[in-house]
Each structure stands twice: as structure tokens, then as C-alpha cells.
């Protein structure tokens, strides 16, 4: 249901007619026969709410005030795994703002196409807990359902009225501060296409004419590429560093390095330039970031998120190249920069550390290792 609703909606927004397209017709039949868009999972409901095809009241509460709880508490979102944290940050901002894009004739038509009953008669409160069986990987626990119901019936109404709404305004300012920090320190590439798109929408909500939004737009292309069967979107902005390090290692393990010296020299030069040379500015703990100096990202230096596996493979490639004459592969990397790399690796035990301690930290460790 997740992919069906979002792909159907996207094609309609791109101008595909609902009646003269067999794929859309079959997709619509499947959606309507499997629970309609009210059975879409949470992320899909959020995106449909943003464009105006689903009502915000049909979403489980994602209160931004959670970012204001004491930082030592394990429930603070800043202590979550980085992908979870950055996604929740943008989603809760949009949820609190209840932002809805322009209601166009296409949007009004989609409100009819995705549901079996008139849009105005949908039970949005009942739709909060509905999810198609095909999309349920782990059924929500009883505890989650109780917490979600309490937040929806008691906490959320209070936070929308004075004086509690002042707390919400403070939370939104705090979150936008973190969103801007993430944008600045990834040079508007973002951690992944999901967080980039969400951050870009948040920037639009704050100010559609801002310089921040203008800086976002050119970096959309970092995730797009045209294949023989059309345009595709990558799940990351690339794996340039990862691929180059493995290629270098392959060449070093054969005699090809002597045959392709100029190619390896250019790869060596790129790898040295791709190293992250500084930590992100400010207090790392305030921004819930880990040291990055001396590391390599999976993709490029612009991404800014150093990872253990990319850094380890890059270090191995650099050390292998140091065994060959500089006139063949270029000058070796400075020893001080290698020390920075080792310091970074020794500070980690997973791809990117969680800030949760104890049992929850171990769960996050297993989760991040699995992915």
C-alpha cells in the first residue's frame, strides 16, 4: 500500500490521466480493494497529508515537544539512530505545522480516487490505527497503542492551545535550528533522499523564498540518474568513496597497478580529497553528532556523515598505495591525517554510533548492524 499510494499519487501529479492509463486503473483498483489510502502506513499518510490527499487528524501524534525533554532520557529523539532521528525531526515538524500544499483540481480528484467513501465522511480518527496487512512487518504493541491514544486524546489537544502552544512554538524553533544545521553540514545533500526531501519541505513551510530552500534545489540532482529505461532515484547520493577504495584494493592485489598507474594516481588523489578534514562546527553533543575528522563518507565529502566501513576500506587502500613508488601512484597521505582516521575508527563500534546506553543501545546496535 505504501508504494502503491505514493506512486499512484506521483503519476497523477505529473499529469498522467486517471482514465486513459491502464497501469493507473489497475493500481487504483488494487488500492481500493485492499483498504484504500486509509490503510497506508504512517510515512505514506504523512506524505499524503502534506499534499492534501489525507487529513492530518488521521495520523498518530508525532509531538515535537519530545525534543525538549531532558537529554539524559533515552526517549529523547536526539539519542536515536541517525536515520531515525533525522527523519523523525522533519516529520514531527510537519505534523505540528499541519502543513498542506495548494489544493488543486488534481488533489480534489485524488481525494475521490483513493477512497471508497466521500472524503468528507472518512473517519480519520479510526484511520489512525489502520494499516494494510501487506505493509505490516511488526504489529504495533499494546503499549504503543495506549500511548498513541493518550497523546491523541489528551496531550495533543492541550499543546495546541495557550499557554501550552508556546511550548510547541519553542520546540519548532529548536527543530528548525537542527534542520538547518543538518542542511549546512551536508551541503544540502542530506543524509539520504528521504531526509533531504523532508528537510526541503520544512524549509518551504518556514519560508518558500528563503536562501536555504534555493540551496536545496540544485542538490536534488545528486539523487537522480537516467538509465536506459528512464530516470531513477538512488537510496543514497552515491557510493563513490566505497567503490573507489575497493577498486584501488583490487588493482593493488594484481599487476594491473603498474599498467594503469595514471588511473590509480587520479583515484589516489581523489581519495585524499574525499577525506573529511574537520569535525562539524559547534558542540558535537548539542547537535547529537559524532566526531567526523579523519573519516570518509560512503559517498562524497559533501555528505559529511563519516562511517566506519567506508573509513576502514579507505584507510586500507591508502596504506596499500603507500607501498608503491610515489612517481607511480602519487605522494602518500600525511601521517597526521592517518592518525585522525585511526582515532575516528577507534571511537566507533558500529557504522554510526547510537547515543542510547544500556539495553536500548544494544537494540540499536543490532538494528544498525542488520541494516
CA–CA gap between residue 124 and residue 122 (Å, rounded):
6
- Establish whether 211 is a catalytic residue: no
Half-sphere exposure in the Cβ direction for 113 (13 Å, CA): 23
Place of cell 505514493: 6
H/E stretch holding 255: none
Longest Cα separation, the chain: 75
CA–CA gap between residue 201 and residue 172 (Å, rounded):
14
β-partners of residue 130 are none
> Among the residues of the chain, which ranges form H helices?
2-13, 22-33, 42-51, 82-97, 105-113, 124-127, 142-150, 156-159, 164-185, 193-206, 211-216, 240-252, 256-259, 261-273, 308-321, 326-329, 335-346, 358-370
User: Which residue is catalytic, options 19, 211, 229, 309?
Assistant: 309
β-partners of residue 230 are 227
3-state SS, 289-307, equals: CCCCCCCCECCCCCCCCEC
Q: Would you state the torsion angle of the CA atoms of residues 206, 209, 215, 218, taken in this order, to the nearest 10 degrees?
A: 120
State the Cα angle at 151 between 145 and 155, rounded to 5°.
165
Torsion sign, CA atoms 155, 158, 163, 166? positive
The residues annotated with a catalytic role in the active site are 309
Amino acid at each position: 500500500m505504501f508504494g502503491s499510494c505514493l506512486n499512484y499519487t506521483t503519476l497523477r501529479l505529473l499529469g498522467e490521466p486517471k482514465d486513459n492509463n491502464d497501469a493507473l486503473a489497475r493500481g487504483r483498483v488494487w488500492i481500493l480493494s485492499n483498504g484504500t489510502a486509509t490503510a497506508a502506513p504512517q510515512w505514506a499518510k504523512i506524505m499524503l497529508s502534506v499534499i492534501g490527499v489525507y487529513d492530518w487528524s488521521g495520523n498518530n501524534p508525532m509531538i515535537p515537544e519530545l525534543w525538549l525533554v531532558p537529554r539524559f532520557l533515552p526517549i529523547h529523539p536526539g539519542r536515536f539512530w541517525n536515520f531515525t532521528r533525522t527523519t523523525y525531526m522533519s516529520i514531527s515538524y510537519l505534523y505540528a505545522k499541519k502543513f498542506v500544499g495548494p489544493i488543486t483540481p488534481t488533489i480534489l480528484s485524488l481525494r475521490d480516487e483513493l477512497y471508497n467513501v466521500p472524503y468528507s465522511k472518512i473517519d480519520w480518527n479510526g484511520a489512525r490505527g489502520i494499516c494494510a496487512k501487506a505493509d505490516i512487518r511488526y504489529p504495533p504493541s499494546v503499549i504503543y497503542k495506549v500511548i498513541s491514544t493518550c497523546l491523541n486524546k489528551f496531550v495533543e489537544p492541550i499543546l495546541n492551545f495557550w499557554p501550552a502552544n508556546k511550548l510547541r512554538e519553542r520546540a519548532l524553533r529548536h527543530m528548525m535550528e537542527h534542520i538547518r544545521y543538518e542542511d549546512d553540514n551536508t551541503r544540502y545533500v542530506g543524509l539520504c533522499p528521504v531526509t533531504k526531501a523532508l528537510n526541503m519541505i520544512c524549509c518551504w513551510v518556514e519560508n518558500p523564498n528563503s536562501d536555504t530552500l534555493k540551496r536545496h534545489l540544485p542538490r536534488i540532482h545528486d539523487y537522480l540518474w537516467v538509465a536506459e529505461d528512464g530516470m531513477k532515484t538512488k537510496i543514497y547520493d552515491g557510493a563513490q568513496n566505497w567503490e573507489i577504495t575497493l577498486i584501488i584494493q583490487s588493482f593493488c592485489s594484481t599487476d594491473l597497478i603498474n599498467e594503469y598507474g595514471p588511473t590509480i594516481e587520479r583515484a589516489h588523489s581523489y581519495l585524499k580529497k574525499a577525506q573529511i578534514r574537520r569535525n562539524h562546527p559547534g558542540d558535537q553533543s548539542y547537535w547529537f553528532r559524532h566526531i567526523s575528522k579523519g573519516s570518509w563518507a560512503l559517498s562524497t565529502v559533501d555528505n559529511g556523515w563519516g562511517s566506519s566501513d567506508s573509513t576502514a576500506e579507505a584507510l586500507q587502500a591508502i596504506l596499500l598505495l603507500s607501498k608503491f613508488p610515489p612517481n607511480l601512484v602519487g605522494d602518500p597521505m600525511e601521517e597526521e591525517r592517518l592518525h585522525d582516521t585511526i582515532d575516528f575508527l577507534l571511537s566507533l563500534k558500529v557504522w554510526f554510533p547510537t547515543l542510547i546506553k544500556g539495553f536500548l543501545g544494544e537494540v540499536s546496535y543490532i538494528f544498525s548492524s542488520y541494516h
